[in-house]
Chains A and B, each alone.
Chain A
Amino acid sequence: MSESLQTIELELHALWLQAQEGDAACYARALKVISGYLRRFLNRRMQSQPSDVEDLVQETLLAIHQKRHTYQSEQAFTAWMYAIARYKWIDHLRAHGRREALHDDIDDWSEILSVSGDTEAADSQRDLSHMLTLLPDKQRLAIEHTKLQGLSITETATLTGQSEAAVKVNVHRGLKALATQWRVKP
């Protein structure tokens, strides 16, 4: 059986609020936990398109990241998170025909079947390096250095000749541009 919603809520609410203070490690941990719940949520609802699940997990993660200012701290975090996941799922159904909605009623037993491998991060069909080539140089470099080569913000700043603030801004803008491209199929 899945954990009760209250347990998930207790775990995530505190973690999320702590992550919003700006602690990157904590934020990564929060997103990791969230991605597990998203995968479970979507696996259950997308039996016939398992290859799309990870795409949608990633798209939902991006949406959660970009729309995080719409979360109000007195609100249940799980309500917010699942509302976004649900929106992304329905949006996906609209784009790919509605047949999948018919499968939702076998939810209960399909959940038991799909528990294994639920929390395992997997690859989506999105090609990051291809999407990166479409970004302006400054943003691409900022993301490539911080992420792909694992450099710190300070190191990236020295290497690219941008200020630290500029690196942060470029990572931020680059991610925003990536999120837009996400919706265009690879």
Chain B
Amino acid sequence: MNTDELIALLAHDAGPARGPKPQQVGGRLALALAVCGVMVLYMGLNPKLSEFASTSVFSLKMVWLFAMVVFSAALVYRMVHPGRQMGNAPWAIGLALLAMGGQGMSQLLQAPLEQRSALALGTSWQVCTLNIAFIALPVLAALMWTLRDMAPTRPALTGAMAGLCAGALAAMLYSLHCTENSFTFYALWYSGGMGLSALVGAVLGARFLRW
């Protein structure tokens, strides 16, 4: 085929571009979040949630997770528009992770020796990371579906950041179930859950986000 032929062909399809519709994207996300909600309800809400939710530990954790959602979403948005720089978002994500890591580390070091393993492992360390990564799957699927219509020039990295975003959202929901209250625990296992979700996102991205 001659390139001029192709151009003539494409010109027939001129006109404003059609991207994914906001309502559609919102609908998919809402559906995914509803599924996540059901998963958390199935795991069971923290019986002392109303008490726990008013503590500063809980609010700080939620602010941290919300910041992770916002920063990673901002990064994904830039990465699916070709020619856009990544900007400050990678730094913001790194700083947020570092802040919780530092907080967890100092809490661990200030505690007496015999309490340290309780701070780091709590009672649910075996399941926390996997649960968060598991809850993240519906959101990750909804995100991938939308991102396929965009143009990520780094499919694996974009998938990873979408996974991070889904993981952070999932962690916020998981917080309604989780009874752990140490920063050390969050820094280890919540970050682990988001990281695992990012890993899944990277694998899926390399496979499904190419265009």
Contacts and interface: CB of A to CB of B under 8 A. Distances in A.
Chain A bound to chain B? yes
Interface of A: 19-28, 31-32, 35, 54, 57-58, 61-63, 65, 67-72, 75-76, 79-84, 86-87, 91, 121-124, 126-128, 143, 146-147, 153, 168, 171-172, 175
A82 B45 CA distance: 50
Nearest to A81: B83
Given A147-B8, A175-B10, 14 more contacts: A24-B14, A32-B4, A67-B150, A68-B17, A69-B17, A70-B82, A71-B81, A72-B81, A79-B83, A87-B151, A87-B153, A122-B3, A168-B13, A175-B13
Contacts of B5: 128, 147
25 contacts: A20-B15, A22-B16, A23-B14, A24-B12, A28-B10, A28-B11, A28-B14, A31-B7, A54-B3, A57-B3, A58-B3, A61-B3, A61-B10, A67-B151, A70-B80, A75-B83, A79-B84, A80-B82, A80-B83, A83-B82, A84-B82, A84-B153, A87-B151, A121-B2, A147-B9
A25 B9 CA distance: 11
Chain B, interface size category, equals 20 to 34
Contacts of A62: 6, 10
Contact of B17 (A20, A57, A127): A20
Nearest to B14: A27
A70 B4 CA distance: 24
Query: Chain A binding site: helix, strand, loop or mixed by DSSP?
Result: helix
Contacts of B153: 83-84, 86-87
Interface of B: 1-19, 80-84, 150-151, 153, 210-211
Nearest to A82: B83
Contacts of A27: 10-11, 14
Nearest to B10: A65
Nearest to B20: A69
Per DSSP, are chain B's interface residues mostly helix, strand or loop, or mixed? loop
Contacts of A147: 5, 8-9, 12
Nearest to A76: B83
Contacts of B210: 91
B16 A20 contact: yes
A148 to B, nearest CB: 9
A27 B84 CA distance: 23
A80 B16 CA distance: 17
A126 B17 CA distance: 26
B8 A61 contact: no
